[in-house]
Structure 1
């Protein structure tokens, strides 16, 4: 713990998690940010889960706090940004980690409905846009800031039949690039992380609950997709990438889509 984010204020959207046996990427990132010295506003629609994240941080939490927000309600994202500025006077990092796929009812093209498409895109894409809307003006005033959006290798690879998750994550990459180029002159960096198959409660435990089967079978099937050691990544892998991108070590990196996928995208030459 080298204090790579010492003195920074970070908003982590999706800092709670679905119940399960592993750690989610949002919780892991919030914890790593605090371990590296950042003050974190842990934002989640489940306030108790966000509070649990702060509690898990122990002494590293400092003055970090939990905040309830629903990303489909833009005013609640505005309220989170306003709270952070009122409480700490600045916002240095925005980490957007909210996403939904099969739990939102995603389907192949011949089965998709308006309601499902709108719900998934409002969470995966519109929420990220609106979160940035309320944070970027603050960063412009500071002439510094970092936005990190969690997309997915699904935005690139084409093996899965459901369309809305992929489309929304591809849109998130495009939005991140636009954010990077349009605000570079103000010292704002924007990058995306593209996780592969990661052992998180949402990706594994929630799928088991929705689709049936055993956790062990699902983990084994997902692990076979990964070239590196033949095993899934963890929330900590994504969190450590986020720490790097948020830190001054990445001060000359913007507009990048960073795969954290154990080499999955190498199969298509990406």
Structure 2
């Protein structure tokens, strides 16, 4: 157990994960924040997945509580954050990790269905707007806080699916808006832009597409990463999130931090 966020209270939205062979970004972040001393409210649409994250945290001696919340339901979002204040007394860290692409029906712009575009945007962007809407008043009242939103380098590169790219670009702009409008209250807001990661959501949704095996999916994704030709893991995202949430980043706000092994630099 470390002390980089000791005594802090963290809400990790999307703290469960898709079943798979590796850790997901939300679970890894929740576990790492707890290891470093934070009390964690682990929220997820799938309560069982959030409870699995809490069980992992508690097995290591950490403090955590699982709650069910769908970020497209504003009443559920408000209740989630009210539960955190009721149980732990404050909200120091809000980590927004929820996102969907292929599983939400995303497609190229010439093929996208209106309902799919609305669904992906509601989850990826509107959901973060709602969590921030209800967390910021708490943070203002207590004199500060940290918000970290998970975007994607898909916002900046040749990514084929319109809803995911558009919504993740919106996350960056939203984060900048929150940062400048809330600096006077001592609230910092930053975005993390993961690149190609070896997580269940990224891998499992692609296995079988066009007949691809898991090994082929992994090899193809690895080939696009300049740094050692190997994808990152959820722990790379979690360590970036821990840094941004800690006092070590106390003068950092409004940044979009790429965690991508150099992929966003590979132009052409």
* TM-score range normalised by the length of the shorter chain: over 0.9
User: 1:162: which partner in 2?
Assistant: 161
Report the CA distance between 1:212 and its aligned residue: 4.0
Tell me: CA distance 1:164–1:53, structure 2 relative to 1, closer, same or farther (3 Å): same
- Alignment of 1:43 with 2:72, yes or no, is no
* Superposed CA offset, 1:152-186 (max 9, x none): 0000112x221110000000000000000000010
Aligned residue pairs, count = 268
5 Å matches for 1:103-118?
A: 103-118=103-118
Q: Following the alignment from structure 1 to structure 2, what is the Cα–Cα distance between the partners of residues 264 and 146? A: 27
- Structure 2 SS opposite 1:119: helix
- Structure 2 SS opposite 1:228: coil
User: 2:145: which partner in 1?
Assistant: 145
CA contact 2:4–2:246 (8 Å) conserved in 1 = yes
Report the CA distance between 1:58 and its aligned residue: 3.2
User: 1:221: which partner in 2?
Assistant: 220
Alignment TM-score, normalising by the size of structure 1 = 0.97
User: 2:190: which partner in 1?
Assistant: 191
CA contact 2:57–2:63 (8 Å) conserved in 1 = no
User: 1:131: which partner in 2?
Assistant: 131
Q: Following the alignment from structure 1 to structure 2, what is the Cα–Cα distance between the partners of residues 229 and 53? A: 30
5 Å matches for 1:213-252?
A: 213-252=212-251
- Structure 2 SS opposite 1:184: helix
Report the CA distance between 1:265 and its aligned residue: 1.0
Q: Following the alignment from structure 2 to structure 1, what is the Cα–Cα distance between the partners of residues 217 and 194? A: 17
CA contact 1:37–1:60 (8 Å) conserved in 2 = no
Q: Following the alignment from structure 1 to structure 2, what is the Cα–Cα distance between the partners of residues 157 and 83? A: 38
- Structure 1 SS opposite 2:28: helix
CA contact 2:58–2:64 (8 Å) conserved in 1 = no
Report the CA distance between 1:211 and its aligned residue: 5.4
User: What's the Cα RMSD here?
Assistant: 1.3
- Structure 2 SS opposite 1:86: helix
Report the CA distance between 1:206 and its aligned residue: 2.2
- Alignment of 1:96 with 2:105, yes or no, is no
Report the CA distance between 1:50 and its aligned residue: 0.4
CA contact 1:77–1:131 (8 Å) conserved in 2 = yes
Report the CA distance between 1:209 and its aligned residue: 5.1
Report the CA distance between 1:147 and its aligned residue: 0.3
CA contact 2:14–2:44 (8 Å) conserved in 1 = yes
Q: Following the alignment from structure 2 to structure 1, what is the Cα–Cα distance between the partners of residues 46 and 211? A: 25
Q: Following the alignment from structure 2 to structure 1, what is the Cα–Cα distance between the partners of residues 56 and 224? A: 32
Alignment TM-score, normalising by the size of structure 2 = 0.97
